[in-house]
Amino acid sequence: MIPFFKKKKQGEDSTVQAGQLFDGAAEQQDEDVHTTLSIHPLMSLTAEQKYYFQYVNNELPPLKKNQVSLSGIEWKKEDDRYIVTALIRNALDKAIRFDQTRLLFIGTNDEIISRKTFQLSEMGEIPPRSSRPWFFVFNKHELLLDKIPRFGWKLSFELRKKHSLELDDSWENSLSEEDKKELERLVRSLPRLGENEVNIVGLQATTDEEGNLVVGLLIRNGNQKDIQFKKLPLVVEDASGEVIARGLFTLDLQIKANTSKPWTFIFPKSLILKEKIDLRQWQVYSPHP
């Protein structure tokens, strides 16, 4: 058996507060947390690998309570793939579970070697106060640099700025302060968007004096870049579940990265498909092409 205790850990550690990754997570506290090793039940490891992970985990400094950390161990090249081994450390008093998560592979001078989204639901639940070893695969074409340092690199969570409300000038000038605060509360209360996810939430639906259907929507952009709408098809159903209006809107609407913007859409009376509509309950969606 190779003397695993002589193998030097190649990567550095990257640590964040749990609240930067998970909604509703408790704030960091000053208590030291020593994590115990937790190996995924379906992960096939040799006895030497298990001993090595245990050794590395025991040598790591404690985290502060409610921190989450990525501790880089080593990388190796297999064909056109770079396999990075790291420990994900959970210093919370409850289990954590990741879904789609974007990670940065960072060099010794903070240069970005690669940026990649991983489906970490496969990792399962990481128990409270524990560390889980995992393998992260970067393909050669996903690398931004030709050379990867053997030591001093790290994996890091790419933190998204907090999702926020964006108001067009017309909304900014017409809404009361209380209405703005109510919209901000709504934006904060909605489920976190997945990466690159865009969806719409109905705010209000009424008919005006001319019989047009006026629908207020909140358009949510989970992308890390601005998106532009040139055309947007919409379908509205009333309380009966029947389609009461459908239309294709031509517009020039920009939603900034990681923001939600309210917008009003007016369906002319000629597009309303039912004589009597029930708006006590309703839903709106954009049909798939």
Helices (H), the chain: 47-59, 169-174, 177-189
pLDDT tens profile 195-238: 788 999 999 999 999 999 999 999 999 888 899 999 999 999 99
CB atoms within 10 A of CB 118: 18
Tell me the Cα Rg of the chain. Answer: 25
Q: CATH number for the domain including 273?
A: 2.60.40
pLDDT of the residue at 284: 96
Q: How far is CA 82 from the centre of its chain?
A: 24
* Rounded Cα–Cα distance for residues 43 and 20 (Å): 28
Q: In the chain, what percentage of residues exceed pLDDT 70?
A: 97
| pLDDT tops 90 at residue 95 | yes
Q: What pLDDT, on a 0 to 100 scale, did the predictor assign at position 115?
A: 93
Q: What is the arithmetic mean of pLDDT over 103-117?
A: 95
Eight-state DSSP code of residue 201? E
Of 131, 157, 183, which closes a domain?
157
Q: Which residues contact 49 (CB under 8 A, 6 or more apart)?
A: none
Residue 70 CA to residue 28 CA, distance in Å, equals: 16
- On whether both 213 and 144 belong to a single domain, the answer is no
pLDDT in tens, 146-169: 899 999 999 999 887 778 899 999
- Domain containing 68: what range? 4-157
**Same-domain status, 117 and 183:** no
DSSP string, 230-244: EEEEEEEE-TTS-EE
Q: Residues 195, 108: one domain? A: no
Q: Are residues 153 and 10 in the same domain?
A: yes
Written as six digits, the tokens of 174 are 């017409």
For residue 126, the model assigns a pLDDT of 97
- Pull the structure tokens for residue 123: 């990792």
Residue-wise over 205-232: b if at least 16 C-beta within 10 A, else e? beeeeeebbebbbbbbbbbeeebebeeb
The arithmetic mean of pLDDT across residues 73-102, rounded, is 95
Does 270 have pLDDT greater than 60? yes
Q: Are residues 148 and 185 in the same domain?
A: no
Q: Which whole number is the average pLDDT over 99-121?
A: 93
pLDDT (tens digit, 9 = 90+) per residue, 165-205? Answer: 999 999 999 999 999 999 999 998 888 887 788 999 999 99
Rounded to an integer, what distance in angstroms lies between the CA atom of residue 232 and that of residue 280?
25
Q: Quick one: pLDDT at residue 23?
A: 72
CA distances, 224 to each of 23, 195, 279 (Å): 18, 8, 35
**pLDDT number for residue 183:** 93
Q: Looking at the structure, tell me whether residues 143 and 183 fall in a common domain.
A: no
Check residue 54 and give its pLDDT.
94
- Regarding whether 12 and 112 lie in a shared domain, the answer is yes
Q: How many domains does the chain have?
A: 2
The residue written with tokens 């704030």 in the block is: 27
pTM value is: 0.64
Q: Are residues 94 and 236 in the same domain?
A: no
Straight-line distance from the first to the last Cα atom of the chain, in angstroms, rounded to the nearest whole number:
59
- Reduce the DSSP state of residue 52 to 3 states and report it: helix
Contact of 155 with 104, CB cutoff 8 Å: yes
User: Which helix (H) or strand (E) segment is 124 a member of?
Assistant: none
Tell me which H or E stretch contains 226: none
Same domain, 109 and 16: yes
For 44-62, write each residue's pLDDT tens digit: 999 999 999 999 999 999 9
Please check whether residue 13 is in contact with residue 71, taking contact to mean a CB–CB distance below 8 angstroms.
yes
| Per-residue model confidence (pLDDT) at position 223 | 86
Quick one: pLDDT at residue 289? 59
Domain boundary among 157, 191, 218: 157
